[in-house]
A = this chain, B = another copy of it.
């Protein structure tokens, strides 16, 4: 279902390109793209596997091709907070730093497109296009982080759950499957515990609020993971966010 991605998204930002993440785009097949192709390689991880531990050496940068990875921070006493959720086409790693700042974990089977940091950095100095694209992506991530901060600091448990569901629904490629009526179907890529780590809650509270949303008819559950949202607007109502819509318009 999902179209494969790789780091070509770095040099690839044609607003009018019909398939935004195609591995090769006629308009973007430039020198940069070809040079990237030469130094890239792929790595696979199984669900549950750790990609790197916080503090460990990380001598590559990468973008997610398929699957989902998380960035988490852990306190000495074991309290955990997820600080990043990496979906296909997302970038991880920081040029100019050699150790990972967070635990990176595959929550599903995962394929990443990697570049050893050295040649990537060398390339970056020679190709302004890449630094600009990377800046753009980083600014998007910063915006997402700031919305996440509002969620963590000020939203109720119910609002947090609704917001997370809305975020995942928005980014899930399978949303193309949605029926005309505004209903939406997708699979949760996270366990209750991972949702809790995302939201700054306990897994029990997550479970209770999921049940409550179900009881109130905001969502339907098939099994633990398969979600049906009969009315996306009703879900958005629960997030506490401004109802700008903006999505599905």
Given the known interface contacts A131-B135, A145-B142, A146-B73, the answer about A200 and B84 at a Cβ–Cβ threshold of 8 Å is: no
Stretch of A19-27, A147-155, A187-195, A205-213 that contacts chain B = A147-155
**Measured CA separation A102–B102 after assembly (Å):** 27
Dominant secondary structure at the A interface = helix
Chain B neighbourhood of A152, CB < 8 A: 149, 152-153, 200
Asked whether B149 lies within 8 Å of A145 as measured between CB atoms, the reply is yes
**Measured CA separation A234–B129 after assembly (Å):** 47
Asked whether B132 lies within 8 Å of A73 as measured between CB atoms, the reply is no
**Measured CA separation A199–B200 after assembly (Å):** 14
Which residues 48-97 in A have Cβ within 8 Å of B in the complex? 71, 73, 75-77, 79-81, 83-84, 94-96
**Measured CA separation A95–B94 after assembly (Å):** 20
With both chains docked as a complex, state the minimum distance between the C-beta of A111 and any C-beta of chain B, in angstroms. Answer: 24
How many copies of the shown chain assemble into the complex?
Answer: 2
Tell me whether A122 is interfacial, beta carbon within 8 Å.
no
**Measured CA separation A80–B79 after assembly (Å):** 25
Tell me whether A128 is interfacial, beta carbon within 8 Å.
yes
Interface residues on A, range: 35 or more
Tell me whether A125 is interfacial, beta carbon within 8 Å.
yes
Interface digits, A106-143 against B, CB 8 Å rule (1 contact, 0 not)? 00000000000000000011001001101110110111
Q: In the complex, which residue of chain B has the Cβ closest to the Cβ of A153?
A: B200
The listed residue (B83, B125, B154) touching A146 by CB distance below 8 A is B83
Asked whether B75 lies within 8 Å of A154 as measured between CB atoms, the reply is yes
With both chains docked as a complex, state the minimum distance between the C-beta of A123 and any C-beta of chain B, in angstroms. Answer: 12
**Measured CA separation A242–B102 after assembly (Å):** 13
Q: In the complex, which residue of chain B has the Cβ closest to the Cβ of A152?
A: B152
Tell me whether A203 is interfacial, beta carbon within 8 Å.
no
The listed residue (B124, B128, B142) touching A142 by CB distance below 8 A is B142
A-B contact pairs, 27 of them (CB 8 A): A73-B146, A73-B149, A73-B150, A75-B150, A75-B154, A76-B242, A79-B154, A80-B154, A81-B149, A81-B154, A83-B146, A83-B149, A95-B135, A96-B136, A101-B143, A124-B132, A125-B132, A128-B128, A128-B131, A131-B131, A135-B135, A135-B138, A142-B145, A145-B149, A152-B153, A153-B200, A154-B200
Query: What residues make up the interface of A, taking CB atoms closer than 8 Å to B?
Result: 71, 73, 75-77, 79-81, 83-84, 94-96, 101-102, 124-125, 128, 131-132, 134-136, 138-139, 141-143, 145-150, 152-154, 199-200, 240-242
